[in-house]
Structure 1
């Protein structure tokens, strides 16, 4: 009865796969969490035994939207990191080359078909997008329908098996084993990096909600009487701002030339460490705030587009700024690839970063105009831009070439990925066109990928058990090796050749593997977010390069099999 219902209404199987899959994926055992995509695939493989199938057109549309949105959101960071992030980017190259070599060794030793080989790459590298690009490449091999479906089913099955073991391996490697090999204490190393970036004397001080990084305090002027406002602010590196002054019960217009007088009540905003240092020289703090609003007045998100700010630290950005232009503007947070990077004085900024500015409204608006463009609080998507981008991606995907007797074609997936990169980069340079709010882009990525995975899982269901029986433990073992070998190579290259610190190096290794659970576990072990600095660079590169390897693996494996 259930099987007949699912076959008659496959949309039930689709949404059941999404609901149950994300429920299973949310279960966390220690640092290990499958995630919604893998959970969806597992449920879809089971429901696929009933014969329920999703129309291929829906699957293709879902994947095109997902892969375009992936490129669109990663475009600015991808191009920003190609040049300045070369040290970390080298680790992504290590990942690409080593997994490609390992896959081809597995093909030769185990006599894997093209689908199984591509599935191993997707699963061990925990990069679900490879499933789509590889599936399209299989369809272009010229086999009959039955053989094509079998190979595409093998991609999904090999992915599901190797993904689980690859996920566990990368989480344990980055958060536990690598530190033992390097003989370091990750928490101590993370605190050292935190201090180097200007985070203060304590690892926890930047995390406590009771002690935020940016604060406002009211004082009664004492020892600072006679000092001009501008000179007082300069003494503390312009990391604090005298926002309001009340003298004799009347407010005064605050200018840099105005001299403070004994008994003045002043409101000072700025970085907490600067206020702590300035308090003894300023006077007694007024516990009640003297009627001032000590909350920082305004907050605005700005996309950093200024060319000379790329690669500069937050401290350098403030030092280079004209005091009058930078006065009262503070960077409270840095978001890169939808991940928070610690906003410390020593944090390097990249074009495409989203900076959260705080301060008085006039100040943050002035700062936003000089740094980039304000991220518009809009819920509208420019469907002209989106539709044009996908169409161009499909056109690019039709291009093909022959290399060494092997025909390679990007397909819709690879074409839309490259188109998304280009359109995302254009959007970052010319913000007046191509609105695709981050929430809209995220739903395109999440729903598009989950729908695609559910569709291929349902179609692969009947063939999944056959492949597992054929190879047994070989697939999990190869999946583990495809994580350990690149990880160990990157560990050696990062420490011996690139001289990277252990914390950001391990973050970069998690990023080259595109593993969100790994970086989450690593942040938990280190106690702060410093590993994210390395993670975002390699994640941006590997997230683009790995899907493009899908057609390459399919082409090479098919040629070896002949």
Structure 2
């Protein structure tokens, strides 16, 4: 009865796959977490035995929305990292070259068909989007319907098996085995790098700073009497700012030429270490409630200024005119939805989102010098979204033949490229193309999982056949395909490119597009230094790996 219900109403199978799959994916075993996408696929493969099938149109729409949103959110960072930060970006090239070589080696040794080869690529590289681009490429081979369905089912089955083993491999390699190979204490290395970047030290698990990096104090002027506000702020490297001056019962606007007098009540804000040093030079701390109006604004700003790309936070402040930098402090840096350390030595990139703190006038001025303010909005520009997807579909219809291999990007590759372009346009012209991060995230999550569930349901009947045919060869191949580029990048990154160990391991997690691996790394290091390397390679690999789907299908077809 249940099987008949699932077959008659496939939407029940779809949402059951999502619900049960994400429930399974939420469990953790040490640093390993399966993730909702793989959980959804496993459940869909099981429920697919019932004969439930999702409309191909829904599957295609879901994948188009997912991959466009993926490109849109990664566009600014992708273009920012081309040609810059090349030492990290080179590891994404290592990933692509080694993965292609290993997959083609598996094709020759194991006599794999194009679908199984593409599934190994998707699972070994832990990049789910490859399933969609490879499936489209198989559709264009002009094979009989039964053969096309069989090859597409092989993609899904090979992915599900190799992904499980590839995920465990990259998490353990990045967080446990790589430090042993390099003979370093990863936590000590991360703390050293953190201090080198200007941080105070590493945090333990579940720890947060008891003293916040930005603070405000109300002082009565004594030792600072006779100094101007500008002189005081300059003396402490503009890491403090006088936000308010009260003399008797009058409020004086805190401008640089204002001379402080004994008995004045001033509110001073800034970086905690500079503020602590400045207090004795100004006066004594008091409390009358006047500190409550310090740092009333906290805004997010998209960094678009080309001249700032590659500079550290300390260099940006040093190069800024005092009038521009006055009262503006960077509280956080977000890159590709990951928070990286906002330390004096942190390098900024175009496309970063900087959280500025200060009074309304100061942060508005700072935002204008850095890029544009991200206004809180819940509205999606569906004109922009619709045109982007349409352009992607058009790009996907372009074809190219190299050495007899069809390299047509298909809807997936076209929408990915269009998303990159439209995301970049949005970063340059912020008044158009609104796609709030929450809306983009639901497009990515729901779009990918709906697509995965659809292909899993259609592949269910063939899954057991492929597993019986290749047995343990698929898991072993998945481990090798994951481990090969990771080992190559470890040695190239450390001894040729001279990368710091925490950033190098973060970059290896990023080249595999592995969120569980970076989470495990941050837990081991105790700070966010690995995220700096992760964001660069993740931005590049997340675009380049899906484009390999048609390439592997074409090459495997030739070798087979």
Q: Give the TM bin, normalised by the shorter chain.
A: over 0.9
| Superposition pairs of residues 217-296 of structure 1, within 5 angstroms | 217-286=217-286, 288-293=287-292, 295-296=294-295
Quick check: 1:71–1:544 contact (8 Å CA) kept in 2? yes
What is the CA-CA distance between 1:169 and the residue it aligns to?
0.5
What is the CA-CA distance between 1:432 and the residue it aligns to?
1.5
Question: Matched residues in 1 for 2:551 and 2:515: separation?
Answer: 25
1:512 aligned onto 2:511: yes
Say if 1:207 and 1:347 are closer, same or farther in 2 by CA, change over 3 A. farther
1:23 aligned onto 2:27: no
Give the 3-state SS of the residue equivalent to 1:243 in structure 2. strand
Say if 1:274 and 1:203 are closer, same or farther in 2 by CA, change over 3 A. farther
What is the CA-CA distance between 1:280 and the residue it aligns to?
2.4
* Count of matched residue positions in the alignment of Structure 1 and Structure 2: 560
Point out the more displaced range, 206-215 or 140-149: 206-215
Say if 1:397 and 1:173 are closer, same or farther in 2 by CA, change over 3 A. same
User: Match for residue 134 of structure 2?
Assistant: 134
Question: Matched residues in 2 for 1:179 and 1:3: separation?
Answer: 50
| Superposition pairs of residues 34-433 of structure 1, within 5 angstroms | 34-200=34-200, 203=203, 208-286=208-286, 288-293=287-292, 295-433=294-432
What is the CA-CA distance between 1:205 and the residue it aligns to?
13
What is the CA-CA distance between 1:206 and the residue it aligns to?
13
- TM-score normalized with structure 2 length: 0.98
What is the CA-CA distance between 1:292 and the residue it aligns to?
2.7
User: Match for residue 496 of structure 2?
Assistant: 497
Question: Matched residues in 2 for 1:73 and 1:512: separation?
Answer: 17
User: Match for residue 550 of structure 2?
Assistant: 551
Question: Matched residues in 2 for 1:451 and 1:202: separation?
Answer: 40
Say if 1:44 and 1:401 are closer, same or farther in 2 by CA, change over 3 A. same
Cα deviation code 1:380-437 (max 9, x no counterpart) = 1111111111111111111111111222211100010001111111111111211111
- TM-score normalized with structure 1 length: 0.98
Quick check: 2:331–2:355 contact (8 Å CA) kept in 1? yes
Quick check: 1:137–1:411 contact (8 Å CA) kept in 2? yes
Question: Matched residues in 2 for 1:119 and 1:202: separation?
Answer: 40
**How big is the alpha-carbon RMSD for the aligned residues of Structure 1 and Structure 2?**
1.4
Cα deviation code 1:213-233 (max 9, x no counterpart) = 111111122222211111111
Say if 1:354 and 1:424 are closer, same or farther in 2 by CA, change over 3 A. same
Question: Matched residues in 1 for 2:163 and 2:423: separation?
Answer: 29
Cα deviation code 1:438-487 (max 9, x no counterpart) = 11111110100010000000000010001111111111111111111111
Question: Matched residues in 2 for 1:214 and 1:370: separation?
Answer: 21
Say if 1:432 and 1:151 are closer, same or farther in 2 by CA, change over 3 A. same
What is the CA-CA distance between 1:290 and the residue it aligns to?
4.1
Say if 1:289 and 1:476 are closer, same or farther in 2 by CA, change over 3 A. farther
Say if 1:207 and 1:278 are closer, same or farther in 2 by CA, change over 3 A. farther
Cα deviation code 1:26-62 (max 9, x no counterpart) = 1111110011101100110010010000000000000
Give the 3-state SS of the residue equivalent to 2:485 in structure 1. helix
Give the 3-state SS of the residue equivalent to 1:292 in structure 2. helix
Cα deviation code 1:138-163 (max 9, x no counterpart) = 11111100000000000000000000
Question: Matched residues in 2 for 1:206 and 1:331: separation?
Answer: 23
Give the 3-state SS of the residue equivalent to 1:346 in structure 2. coil
Q: Which runs of 5+ in 2 are unaligned?
A: none
Question: Matched residues in 2 for 1:521 and 1:394: separation?
Answer: 38
